[in-house]
Amino acid sequence: MDNQIKLGCAPIAWTNDDMPELGETNSFEQCISEMALAGYKGTEIGNKYPRDPEVLKSYLEIRGLEVASAWFSAFLTTQPLEEVKKAFIEHRDFLHAMGAEVIVVSEQGNSIQGQKTVPLFEQKPVFNEKEWKRFIDGLEELGDLAAEKGMSIVYHHHMGTGVQTTEEIDRLMVSTDPAKVSLLFDTGHLVFSGEDPLEILERYFDRIKHVHFKDVRRDIAAEVQREQDSFLTGVKKGAFTVPGDGMIDFAPIMNYLARHQYTGWIVVEAEQDPDVCNAFEYALKAKKHIDALLHKEEVR
Ligand SMILES: O=C1C[C@@H](O)[C@H](O)[C@@H](O)C1=O
Ligand SMILES: [Co+2]
């Protein structure tokens, strides 16, 4: 089968920038060495990574790793556009120097994803009409800036933000120019939110240019909702895990991606407490699970 899937891994399972106490003692070199040892070819970027492109390349190249992308927090609904653009250009230029082709963007205006005591399922932001307009217009401008370097922005729908549900993703997709705004498909966030990942994949496959694979532990996700926990409390309790270790059936998802010749990165991104779930062991478990699914596609 002629697909061009590249498998990467995110550093968030070793060291969690949203909750630095998780994996505080895991070093940058341990993280990238273990990713490479588990067989991944790419990484996203964490706070412990050197920010000088030449220095970062010197660590990654000898381990056979490329930079797949990195997250950008946009505040289009709450900050002046010029400020957002300035921060975005710096981020874009860094990723461009690292050879990445896509830029992960998530709107964080009024987001509750980083607020440790705000209940995730009760208080997510809902954009009003004015916010939707600011958000969409601003996002397309970021898309134009990315295009200046031959890059694309991939929008990250996310729990606890204004673009979380199927309805919100639909609105984002119909309101934006496909040439300017692409989509990031994150299995874990869709399932945690109660959405159907296959439905989103099938509907927006043509716009999906980056994929995050994480799984969800059904009982813990239900507990987070019942106990009115925050997003970060949910992460700490173990709501997310790697593909093959939770409730999501990745076979039809992988089948769809492979059959439709998805070209781009699939990044395993499963934030959980590394003191409870060793990051290397789980990265390896995910790699084996994905390889087995890919192999099944190849022999069909
Ligand atoms: O892509 C992501 C980046 C993280 O910082 C975030 O909180 C995580 O859940 C995610 O999907
Ligand atoms: Co993600």
| ipTM here | 0.97
Domain ranges in the chain? 2-299
**Ion ligand 2, residues whose Cβ is below 5 A away:** 186, 212, 269
Q: Residue 271 CA: which ligand is closest?
A: 1
Quote the ligand 2 centre to 278 CA distance (angstroms): 19
Q: State the average pLDDT over residues 167-182.
A: 98
Quote the ligand 2 centre to 3 CA distance (angstroms): 22
Contact assessment for residue 242 and residue 214, using Cβ atoms and an 8 Å cutoff: yes
**Hey, whose CA ends up nearest to atom 5 of ligand 1?**
18
Which atom of ligand 1 has the smallest separation from the CA of 17?
5
Would you list the DSSP string of 102-159?
Answer: EEEEEE-TT--TT-TTS-TTT------HHHHHHHHHHHHHHHHHHHTTT-EEEEE--T
Residue 131 predicted with pLDDT over 90: yes
The CA–CA distances, whole Å, from 290 to 198, 200, 286 equal 17, 20, 6
pLDDT at 3: 60
Four-residue CA torsion sign, 109, 110, 112, 116: positive
Distance between CA atoms of 263 and 64, rounded to whole angstroms? 20
pLDDT at 1: 46
Question: Tens digits of per-residue pLDDT, 212-242?
Answer: 999 999 999 999 999 999 999 999 999 999 9
Question: Tens digits of per-residue pLDDT, 49-104?
Answer: 999 999 999 999 999 999 999 999 999 999 999 999 999 999 999 999 999 999 99
Angle at 52 between CA 47 and CA 55, to 5 degrees: 100
Q: pTM (2 decimals)?
A: 0.97
For residue 101, the surrounding DSSP H or E stretch is none
pLDDT at 296: 87
In CATH terms, the superfamily for domain 2-299 is Divalent-metal-dependent TIM barrel enzymes (3.20.20.150)
Q: What is the mean pLDDT of the chain?
A: 97
Residue 2 predicted with pLDDT over 60: no
Please give the single-letter amino acid code of residue 284. Answer: L
pLDDT at 299: 72
Residue 72 Cβ contacting ligand 1 at under 6 Å: no
Please give the single-letter amino acid code of residue 277. Answer: C
Confidence of residue 25 (pLDDT cuts 50, 70, 90): very high
Other C-beta atoms closer than 10 Å to the C-beta of 5 total 18
Quote the ligand 2 centre to 37 CA distance (angstroms): 22
Residue 212 Cβ contacting ligand 1 at under 6 Å: yes
Quote the ligand 1 centre to 150 CA distance (angstroms): 25
Q: State the average pLDDT over residues 14-20.
A: 96
The structure tokens 């799984």 sit at 215
Question: Tens digits of per-residue pLDDT, 185-202?
Answer: 999 999 999 999 999 999
